[in-house]
């Protein structure tokens, strides 16, 4: 099944220079394995292609049911240099939550993952 | 009055300010809303030091966070009569001047004899910069590797991030208001715990616990319901949001909470969101005192608006200190215009093309030109997908470059578009964009042994 990250996680983001960090936290502890298995480095790199200019790092915090991503080259130089509205990366959190995961039915079984009602981008919605 | 260390099984540190510009009401509400032992006020962001340095150049009695004077005035009865002690990095680039201002406030209210101000200096490396570079300290940029010598003539401020040691020393000398310069945000919370519980300099797990307590409350209400995405619709009474309080024990465990009868919410999700805020590698959160491991943190619900934090592990500190350097890096200006339905986006896009062509025709060169369409793609870029003829779109156009005249010329090009560009445009009442000098941040490392802090408690 396809699951929008918004429906299974919450997030907060911030900055360090030209890098935005996004912490992604499972809405329910039992959903963390879905994040740790399917919210991969490659998946996040693809999601932010064309949005950031640098690489991505990924860290796991199973104790907090959270993943931390560092998005390099995300802030047009960052801090005072940046000309962007979001110079400090405050809303990369919600940009991350637009991501749609492919979760095999075997991994989704018994977890009660929510069926997404509205898709963050129309093109992501299942075809009727 | 002499403030002495009491025998306490629980020490309460309240956060009253998460940055310079935070809620002016918060410090007073924190000392009046219930029992607290310490009030922690964090004023310094990465670029704040350079702003303060500019102020000090104009007036040698300035260069500190002036909001702190008002904050102290609002909590003075609690400090002078009830034994609440204040720790703040409000000193900026001029802790002695900040202390003098606080002394004057205490005198004005007739409580001079009840206030003992601890002043910590030694973090300011600006006067020693050439000596340090000459002595082989490259102060290379941690992001780019470039040596500081490439921008030496444009450096405005240089301060080492200092840890808990001098703050603990000031508390030992009975200071009840401790003023630091560029202390780390987290040390402001860890230091009183270390002092009260007598944690040793190599008690890595407990020092790390103090640092993580500091990280949780250093951004004020951002861990107690502010900017909280989780269930944000149900977070009660943000108008009276309670700022966070750490209730710590000697074993390094602590509870995050807030005063009763305040708004907001302290929950596992609210604390977790703050824990991951501005997080790098969670295995190694490096501070002057200890390297904290965020993957060791355990959280448990402990009643309404209470989260217990335990299990924290730490490792020995490194032999370096981080240095925050600010330097002049050119000029920038950002201007906006608003286009209305129908076809708001294509109109704004046409205005963008026209503007770029005119800047090009003028021969103006910039390091960067950034266009955003607010209402469509400013915050999420292409991730936001197609816009469906929104009611309005704000064109936001910014330029950056080394030449001030070019940036100034750009600011004259926006208003003409109102009459000689695409139609249905408004929102220009704010006038021409302002040209700003860019003060950029240069993070570096330096050997710990080079930095000598000094503690002075004013009589």
Q: How does pLDDT run across B446-456, given as a tens digit for each residue?
A: 999 999 999 99
ipTM over 0.90: yes
Measure the CA–CA gap between B165 and A27, rounded to whole angstroms: 39
The answer, for B379 touching chain A at a CB cutoff of 8 Å, is yes
CA distance A85 to chain B (A): 7
- Please, which pLDDT band fits residue B45 given cuts at 50, 70 and 90? confident
pLDDT > 90 in chain A, percent: 81
Residues from chain B that touch A84, judged by Cβ atoms under 8 A, are 370, 372, 378, 398
Which positions of chain A have pLDDT values less than 50?
128
Measure the CA–CA gap between B248 and B265, rounded to whole angstroms: 19
* Predicted confidence (pLDDT) at residue B397 exceeds the cutoff of 60: yes
Measure the CA–CA gap between A67 and A88, rounded to whole angstroms: 20
* Residue of A8, A21, A23 to mutate, interface with B, max B Cβ within 10 Å: A23
Instruction: Say if the Cβ atoms of B439 and A84 lie within 8 Å.
Output: no
The answer, for B283 touching chain A at a CB cutoff of 8 Å, is yes
Q: How does pLDDT run across B101-114, given as a tens digit for each residue?
A: 999 999 999 999 99
CA distance A93 to chain B (A): 9
CA distance A108 to chain B (A): 22
Q: How does pLDDT run across B81-91, given as a tens digit for each residue?
A: 999 999 999 99
* Residue of B230, B268, B276 to mutate, interface with A, max A Cβ within 10 Å: B276
pLDDT > 70 in chain B, percent: 98
How high is the pLDDT of residue A121? 66
pLDDT > 90 in chain B, percent: 94
Average pLDDT over residues B140-159: 95
**Residue owning tokens 């060169």:** B365
| Mean pLDDT rounded to a whole number for chain B | 96
* Predicted confidence (pLDDT) at residue B39 exceeds the cutoff of 90: yes
Cβ pairs bridging A and B (under 8 Å): 138
How high is the pLDDT of residue B15? 98
How high is the pLDDT of residue A126? 59
The answer, for B143 touching chain A at a CB cutoff of 8 Å, is yes
- What's the half-sphere exposure (Cβ side, CA atoms, 13 Å) at B315? 12
B198: preceding bond cis by omega (within 30 degrees):
no
How high is the pLDDT of residue A118? 62
CA distance B350 to chain A (A): 20
CB < 8 Å from A in window 237-266 of B: none
Instruction: Say if the Cβ atoms of A81 and B277 lie within 8 Å.
Output: no
Q: How does pLDDT run across A57-87, given as a tens digit for each residue?
A: 999 999 999 999 999 999 999 888 999 999 9
Cβ-Cβ contacts under 8 Å for B257 (sequence gap 6 or more)? B244, B245, B247, B266, B305, B306, B307
Average pLDDT over residues B47-74: 92
Tokens of B241: 């949001």
- Option in B229, B280, B294 nearest A93 (CB): B229
Residues from chain A that touch B234, judged by Cβ atoms under 8 A, are none
Average pLDDT over residues B43-67: 90
- Option in B47, B272, B368 nearest A64 (CB): B272
* Predicted confidence (pLDDT) at residue B1 exceeds the cutoff of 50: no
pTM: 0.95
Neighbours of A111 (CB within 10 A): 15
How high is the pLDDT of residue B4? 44
What DSSP line would sit under B26-76, residue for residue? HHHHHHHSS--SEEEE----TTHHHHHHHHHHH-TT--S-THHHHHHHHHH
CA distance A75 to chain B (A): 11
């Amino acid at each position: 099944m396809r699951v929008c990250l918004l429906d299974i996680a919450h997030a907060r983001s911030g900055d360090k220079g030209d890098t935005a960090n996004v912490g992604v936290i499972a809405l329910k502890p039992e959903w963390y394995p879905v994040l740790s298995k399917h919210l991969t480095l490659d998946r996040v790199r693809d999601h932010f292609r064309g949005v950031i200019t640098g690489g991505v790092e990924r860290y796991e915090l199973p104790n907090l049911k959270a993943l931390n991503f560092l998005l390099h080259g995300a802030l047009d130089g960052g801090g005072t240099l940046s000309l962007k509205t979001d110079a400090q990366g405050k809303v990369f959190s919600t940009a991350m939550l637009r991501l749609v995961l492919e979760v095999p039915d075997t991994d989704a079984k018994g977890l009660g993952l929510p069926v997404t009602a509205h898709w963050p981008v129309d093109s992501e919605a299942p075809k009727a | 009055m002499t403030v002495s260390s009491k025998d306490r099984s629980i020490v309460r540190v309240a956060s009253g300010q998460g940055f310079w510009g935070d809620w002016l009401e918060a410090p007073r509400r924190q000392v009046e809303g219930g029992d607290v032992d310490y009030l922690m006020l964090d004023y310094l962001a990465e670029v704040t030091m350079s702003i303060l340095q500019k102020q000090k150049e104009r007036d040698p009695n300035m260069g500190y966070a002036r909001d702190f004077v008002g904050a102290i005035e609002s909590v003075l009865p609690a400090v002078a009569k009830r034994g609440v002690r204040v720790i703040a990095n409000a000193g900026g680039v001029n802790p002695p001047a900040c202390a003098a201002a606080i002394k004057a406030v205490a005198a004005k209210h007739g409580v001079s004899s009840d206030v003992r101000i601890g002043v910590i200096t030694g973090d300011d490396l600006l006067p020693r910069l050439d000596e340090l570079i000459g002595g082989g300290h490259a102060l290379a940029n941690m992001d780019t590797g470039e040596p500081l010598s490439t921008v030496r003539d444009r450096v405005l401020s240089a301060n080492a991030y200092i840890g808990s040691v001098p703050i603990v020393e000031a508390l030992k000398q009975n200071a009840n208001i401790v003023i630091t310069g560029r202390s780390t945000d987290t040390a402001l919370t860890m230091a009183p715990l270390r002092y009260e519980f007598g944690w040793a300099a190599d008690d890595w797990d407990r020092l790390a616990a103090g640092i993580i307590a500091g990280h949780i409350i250093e951004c004020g209400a951002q861990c107690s319901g502010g900017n909280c995405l989780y269930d944000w619709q149900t977070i009660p009474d943000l108008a009276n949001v309670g700022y966070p309080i750490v209730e710590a024990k000697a074993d390094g465990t602590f509870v995050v909470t807030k005063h009763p009868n305040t708004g907001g919410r302290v929950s596992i999700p609210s604390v977790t969101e703050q824990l991951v805020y501005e997080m790098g590698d969670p295995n190694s959160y490096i501070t002057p005192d200890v390297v904290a491991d965020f993957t060791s943190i355990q959280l448990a619900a402990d009643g309404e608006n209470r989260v217990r934090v335990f299990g924290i592990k730490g490792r020995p500190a490194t032999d370096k200190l981080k240095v925050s350097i600010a330097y002049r890096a050119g000029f920038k200006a950002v201007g906006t215009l608003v286009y209305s339905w129908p076809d708001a986006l294509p109109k704004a896009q046409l205005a963008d093309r026209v503007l770029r062509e005119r800047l090009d025709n003028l021969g103006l060169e910039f390091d960067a030109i950034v266009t955003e369409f607010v209402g469509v793609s400013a915050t999420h870029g292409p991730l936001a997908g197609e816009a469906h003829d929104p009611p309005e779109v704000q064109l936001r156009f910014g330029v950056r470059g080394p030449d001030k005249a070019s940036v100034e010329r750009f600011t004259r090009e926006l208003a003409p578009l109102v009459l000689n560009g695409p139609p249905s445009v408004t929102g220009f009442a704010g006038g021409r964009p302002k040209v700003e000098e860019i003060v950029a941040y240069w993070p570096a490392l330096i050997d710990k042994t080079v930095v000598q802090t000094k503690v002075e408690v004013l009589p």
